[in-house]
A and B are shown apart, each in its own frame.
Chain A
Amino acid sequence: MENAGYFFAAFALIWALLFGYVLILINRQKQLRHALDSLKARLEESEKGKETKRGARQADGAAI
């Protein structure tokens, strides 16, 4: 087992780096999906709010 230490160090580093990179990508994806969902919810709320305002304005116009 000549140079076994270097051999295992090289393999450990390859897997550690690749695994670390994949973990970073997965975490980032989770964070972004969460951010995207909350933004979509905000967008929906804001569109609903707009519709409600428009409806109220139309009702006011009809009353006048």
Chain B
Amino acid sequence: MKERIAQRSNILPGISFVMMMVALYLVFIYVPTAQGMGIMVQKVFYFHVPLAWLSYLAFTIVLVCSGLYLWRREAKWDIIARSSAEVGVVFTALVLITGSIWAKSAWGYWWTWDARLTSTLVLWLIYVAYLMVRSFAVEEDRGARFAAVFGIAGFFSVPLSALAITLWRTQHPPPVIFEGGLAPEMLFAMLFCVVTFTALYIQLLTQRISLRQIETEIDQISQNLSYQGG
């Protein structure tokens, strides 16, 4: 597993970087600018939406790996869940920030306690709490178990945030991507950005997992040394 991760961590940054450059070209030069969403700032949408989707994916992986950890009690599932939660929290923070900047430009204010915005903020806070629970646990095994339960229970906020725009009346723009609301060039750029951010997510997740593996190795060697009285 370690070798595979090391190989991927050599290739993935390059792939992510090239894809990011292509995505920037598509967003800035290739796609036409849509009218009515704040002429220029609407281009933020090509990053805001993929980041939101990827954060939902990251938290879904937390759910799956937390379940697998409780079932199998293998440390690798806890490591993947924790790493995915961290990347998800970073992505959700970016979603909140870019959304807020777009709102200031389009609506005239930075924030409103609208269902979509509030549920996304709650989602972010839940996973920040998950990371705190996981970090501050004194006993490694107990912390992992508690975090796994938290990771499963906290997942309710993902569909709540994702479906907020269909369940309640919100100010947030309605979903247009799968309802034919985008020109073909825009749809292509959007899907390319989704693939690009997926590559970035995999790269960050891989890097975070390898960090956690080094931490585990350090803990084991420290324990060996303390047993030996070194």
Residues of A within 8 A of B (CB): 1-4, 6-7, 9-11, 13-14, 17-18, 21-22, 25, 28-29, 32-33, 35-36, 39-40, 42-43, 45-47, 50
- A10-B44, A21-B204, A29-B207 given as contacts; is B225 within 8 A of A3 (CB)? no
The distance in angstroms between the C-alpha atoms of A36 and B97, with both chains bound, is 37
Query: Which parts of B74-95 form the interface with A (CB within 8 Å)?
Result: 90, 93-94
**A10 & B41 in contact (Cβ 8 Å cutoff):** yes
* Set B47, B51, B221: member contacting A43, Cβ < 8 A: B221
B140 within 8 A of partner (CB): no
**A7 & B44 in contact (Cβ 8 Å cutoff):** yes
List of B residues within 8 angstroms of A3 by Cβ: 38-41, 105
The distance in angstroms between the C-alpha atoms of A45 and B108, with both chains bound, is 65
**B230 & A46 in contact (Cβ 8 Å cutoff):** yes
A38 to chain B, nearest CB (A): 10
- A3-B41, A7-B43 given as contacts; is B94 within 8 A of A14 (CB)? yes
Interface residues of A, dominant DSSP: helix
The distance in angstroms between the C-alpha atoms of A7 and B39, with both chains bound, is 10
A60 to chain B, nearest CB (A): 21
B224 to chain A, nearest CB (A): 6
**B204 & A25 in contact (Cβ 8 Å cutoff):** yes
Which one, B117-125, B147-155, B180-188, B211-219, is touching chain A? B211-219
- A25-B211, A33-B214 given as contacts; is B40 within 8 A of A42 (CB)? no
**B94 & A6 in contact (Cβ 8 Å cutoff):** no
List of B residues within 8 angstroms of A33 by Cβ: 214
**B97 & A29 in contact (Cβ 8 Å cutoff):** no
The distance in angstroms between the C-alpha atoms of A9 and B40, with both chains bound, is 12
**A2 & B38 in contact (Cβ 8 Å cutoff):** yes
The distance in angstroms between the C-alpha atoms of A43 and B207, with both chains bound, is 26
B200 within 8 A of partner (CB): yes
- A29-B207, A43-B224, A46-B228 given as contacts; is B101 within 8 A of A10 (CB)? yes
List of A residues within 8 angstroms of B224 by Cβ: 43
B127 within 8 A of partner (CB): no
* Set B40, B90, B221, B228: member contacting A4, Cβ < 8 A: B40
List of A residues within 8 angstroms of B93 by Cβ: 17
The distance in angstroms between the C-alpha atoms of A27 and B51, with both chains bound, is 24
Q: A6-B104, A43-B221 are in contact. List 14 more A-B contacts (CB 8 A).
A: A2-B39, A3-B38, A6-B41, A6-B101, A17-B90, A17-B94, A17-B97, A25-B204, A28-B211, A32-B214, A32-B218, A36-B217, A42-B230, A46-B225
List of A residues within 8 angstroms of B228 by Cβ: 46-47, 50
List of A residues within 8 angstroms of B221 by Cβ: 36, 39-40, 43
**A39 & B218 in contact (Cβ 8 Å cutoff):** yes
